[in-house]
A and B are shown apart, each in its own frame.
Chain A
Amino acid sequence: MELRSAHFQPSVRAALFDPDLQEAMADNRRFAAHVREQVAASGSFQALRERARAVKDHTLAHLDHYLERYEAAAQARGIQVHWAATPEEAQQQVLAICRQAGARRVIKGKTMIGEEMGINAALAHANIERVETDLGEYILQLADELPSHINGPAIHKTLRQVQALFHQHHQGLGRERYLEDPAELLAEARRLLRGQFLAADVGITGANFLIAEDGTHVLVTNEGNGDLTSLLPPVRIVLASIEKVLPTLEDAGTHLQLLALSATGQPLTSYTSVYGGADSDGPEQCHVVLLDNGRSEMLAGAFRPMLRCIRCAACMDNCPVYNWVGGHAYGWIYPGPMGSVWTPNLAGLEDTRDLPNACTLNGRCKEVCPLQIPLPDMLRALREQQWQRQLTPAGTRLGLRLWAALARRPALYHRLTALLACVLKLAARGRGRLRRLPLAGAWTAERDLPAPQGATFQQRWQRQQKEKRQ
């Protein structure tokens, strides 16, 4: 998929003034608050996350062992396992399976690995018809847009926009009126997609976890589309990546509870399914593609904890940046805090310069992360890498140098800040507020800046301590 992270700043400006997007993001903020309440009420979150982290750290430390165990167990079940170092290799493997099966029609469940490997474009290029079955992905297929969220791909679309899209694309199907009621829209999509499920040659899904012990994979959806996609077509292709492996099904149970709780506030997702290849009325062939795409390099260094990620999206749902600018601004498939770590690691630092800086370091993402991934630390580490490789803009470098010079000289710092506090107090002319301030135009354009009251914090602290002693 094309990387557009270099356009972050103009995209953000456009996003902040897009009324439809702002309406949709307000809904996401309300949803995130609901999820936080459910997590707080669950009672088991802390115990689950301690165990999940221990299991995942252990698995990553023995990843070679568990990958080989998974492969052997899956093959023993008749599953064909394909290893792909790059997205291009994964595309070719999927296309080869489709060609071998003589496939003309593919149905797809939501898969972020599929997005990462650019499978949609590859299928289109090979003239294979693709129908998305996750309702959010289906809406995006109609709109010809990319996901803006890793769980709710179409959260940026308002009801009005979905009504218009369905009207535009389903008009030729004999519908007589403009459907407004969400239930009617859903019934229409269900009817259309049901036919697609039954006619497809290949079903492609993602996998939430791969189980080393028994070669199964776990797939969760609330719609049940992942199960119809897995069960109905004669060929099943599962798109996964190497860090999705866990030792046992019981381990997956711990992660599944955290995933559901942190993603939607449910105790478990509506459909949690464990597939093992041979099902009585399931497909004749089952293939699993294991994508690396830079993960084996992340395993070596400071970014290994990022590979714990279970894609719950709690970090973005609780991020004050993501929740206003939306997912598209980030310019690649993984948005928000987790994306700002993944994207530079997978796509390089050069064209992703703004991502690690689009963060207030408020720490919310780390607090809510069920796997306790130190996202703010990693974003800071990426900023340091940018600095070392001289990718930080010249103006920012100069500002940081000046600041560092000042911060290293406490006496000068105290004198200068005391002077500044006095000047700002005078500039406020007794109103206590500043309407304008050089270098802070973006702040004062929207609101007044409270003016200092004449002394710095340190001065007031010293005065207070002196009074106490007297």
Chain B
Amino acid sequence: MTCSRAAILGKVRQALGRQPGDCVQPAPPPAAIVTVDGSDLEQRLRERLALTGVTLQTLASPDALAGAVAAYLAPLGFTHAVALAPGLAHERWQGVAVDVGGALPHHQVAVTRAFAAVAASGSLVFLAGPDHPPRSGFLPAHHLVVLSKARLVGRLEQLWPLVAGHPGEALHLVGGPSSTADIGGQLLYGAHGPRAVHVLLTP
């Protein structure tokens, strides 16, 4: 391994005509941020998510979370508890059976919190950690996402400063349910991960 490392780096330096003492030029400056043209971020996010079948429900307060989850579950007829991200355990969940922790294979529904959302690309942003086990966004068939209105940004470029400095676990940008076009070119949802994603937007 060490041998190939030296050989590859040696060939790269030779190709670049490196001389000892060459210094690294500064990188090109970051892209100028094109701000979203004054339009309502919530509306933009809703429209963008709708294109991939993600639904968004605005709640009056975090107290309405339990009721909203119960209402989502009712027509589905699921009897198992939902996997609840530990980071949401402090909210009130009366009337909903929850297993606090990361989703396991038998869980049909997971409830997790999004760190932020990007309106222009319709991306829900998740920062993994002990309070937000990343599996929960990929194993269950239904993913319920709690998102705070204060964490909406217009464009992807505005996300990076928010993410910087957070401990280095996985970062996921999710733009809709799991999808594929590999069977005869038809777009289908629910390939591996969630078949449905529903956002609960809190003030």
| Closest beta carbon of chain A to B34's beta carbon, Å | 7
Interface size on B, residues (CB 8 A): 69
CB distance B135 to A281 under 8 Å? yes
CB distance A54 to B28 under 8 Å? yes
| Closest beta carbon of chain B to A192's beta carbon, Å | 11
Given contacts A63-B16, A272-B172, contact A55 B27 (CB under 8 A): yes
B123 beta carbon closer than 8 Å to chain A: yes
CB distance A224 to B192 under 8 Å? yes
Per-residue A-contact encoding for B91-130, CB less than 8 Å = 1, 0 else: 0000000000010010000000000001011110000111
CB distance B168 to A271 under 8 Å? no
Given contacts A159-B183, A190-B191, A267-B175, contact A231 B13 (CB under 8 A): no
Per-residue A-contact encoding for B6-19, CB less than 8 Å = 1, 0 else: 01110111111010
Residues of A within 8 A of B179 (CB): 222-223, 270
Given contacts A67-B9, A250-B157, contact A162 B121 (CB under 8 A): no
B40 beta carbon closer than 8 Å to chain A: no
A310 beta carbon closer than 8 Å to chain B: no
Given contacts A253-B156, A273-B172, contact A152 B182 (CB under 8 A): yes
Cα A290 to Cα B7 with chains together (Å):
13
Given contacts A254-B31, A279-B134, A297-B15, contact A185 B183 (CB under 8 A): yes
Per-residue A-contact encoding for B152-195, CB less than 8 Å = 1, 0 else: 00001101100100001111111111111111111010111110
Residue among B122, B186, B193 facing the most chain A CB atoms (10 A cut-off): B193
A48 beta carbon closer than 8 Å to chain B: yes
Cα A189 to Cα B12 with chains together (Å):
43
Q: Which residue of B lies closest to A301 (CB)?
A: B15
Interchain CB contact (< 8 A) of B182 among A58, A134, A242, A272: A134
A374 beta carbon closer than 8 Å to chain B: no
Residue among A58, A227, A248 facing the most chain B CB atoms (10 A cut-off): A227
Cα A222 to Cα B174 with chains together (Å):
9
Residues of B within 8 A of A296 (CB): 8, 11-12, 14-15
A276 beta carbon closer than 8 Å to chain B: yes
CB distance B178 to A278 under 8 Å? no
Residue among B25, B176, B181 facing the most chain A CB atoms (10 A cut-off): B181
B150 beta carbon closer than 8 Å to chain A: no
CB distance A292 to B11 under 8 Å? yes
| Closest beta carbon of chain B to A169's beta carbon, Å | 14
B30 beta carbon closer than 8 Å to chain A: yes
CB distance A135 to B182 under 8 Å? yes
| Closest beta carbon of chain A to B152's beta carbon, Å | 15
A155 beta carbon closer than 8 Å to chain B: yes
Given contacts A54-B28, A249-B163, A292-B11, contact A271 B175 (CB under 8 A): yes
Cα A115 to Cα B69 with chains together (Å):
44
Residues of B within 8 A of A116 (CB): none
Residues of B within 8 A of A276 (CB): 168-170
Residues of B within 8 A of A266 (CB): 175
Interchain CB contact (< 8 A) of A242 among B1, B12, B172, B193: B12
Q: Which residue of B lies closest to A195 (CB)?
A: B105
Interface size on A, residues (CB 8 A): 94
Given contacts A257-B121, A267-B48, A267-B120, contact A280 B180 (CB under 8 A): no
Per-residue B-contact encoding for A263-293, CB less than 8 Å = 1, 0 else: 0001111111111111111100000001010
| Closest beta carbon of chain B to A437's beta carbon, Å | 39
CB distance A280 to B133 under 8 Å? yes
Residues of B within 8 A of A224 (CB): 138, 178, 191-194
Cα A27 to Cα B186 with chains together (Å):
10
Cα A84 to Cα B185 with chains together (Å):
36
A444 beta carbon closer than 8 Å to chain B: no
Cα A345 to Cα B31 with chains together (Å):
33
A202 beta carbon closer than 8 Å to chain B: no
Residues of B within 8 A of A153 (CB): 182
Q: Which residue of B lies closest to A136 (CB)?
A: B182
Residues of B within 8 A of A82 (CB): 1
**Nearest 7 interchain pairs by C-beta:** A159-B184, A224-B193, A300-B15, A296-B11, A136-B182, A267-B121, A223-B191
A contact set with B: CB distance below 8 Å: 24, 27-28, 31, 44, 47-48, 51, 54-55, 58-59, 61-65, 67-68, 77, 82-85, 89, 93, 133-136, 139, 152-155, 157-160, 162, 182-183, 185-187, 189-190, 193-194, 197-198, 214, 216, 222-225, 227-228, 231-232, 242, 247-251, 253-254, 256-257, 266-282, 290, 292, 296-297, 299-300
* Selected A-B contacts with CB under 8 Å, 5 pairs: A47-B32, A85-B8, A250-B31, A273-B171, A300-B14
| 19 extra interface residue pairs, beta carbon distance < 8 Å, beyond A194-B105, A281-B102 | A27-B184, A48-B31, A62-B25, A64-B12, A82-B1, A135-B183, A159-B185, A222-B191, A224-B178, A224-B194, A228-B138, A242-B12, A256-B156, A267-B121, A267-B122, A271-B173, A272-B172, A280-B133, A300-B16
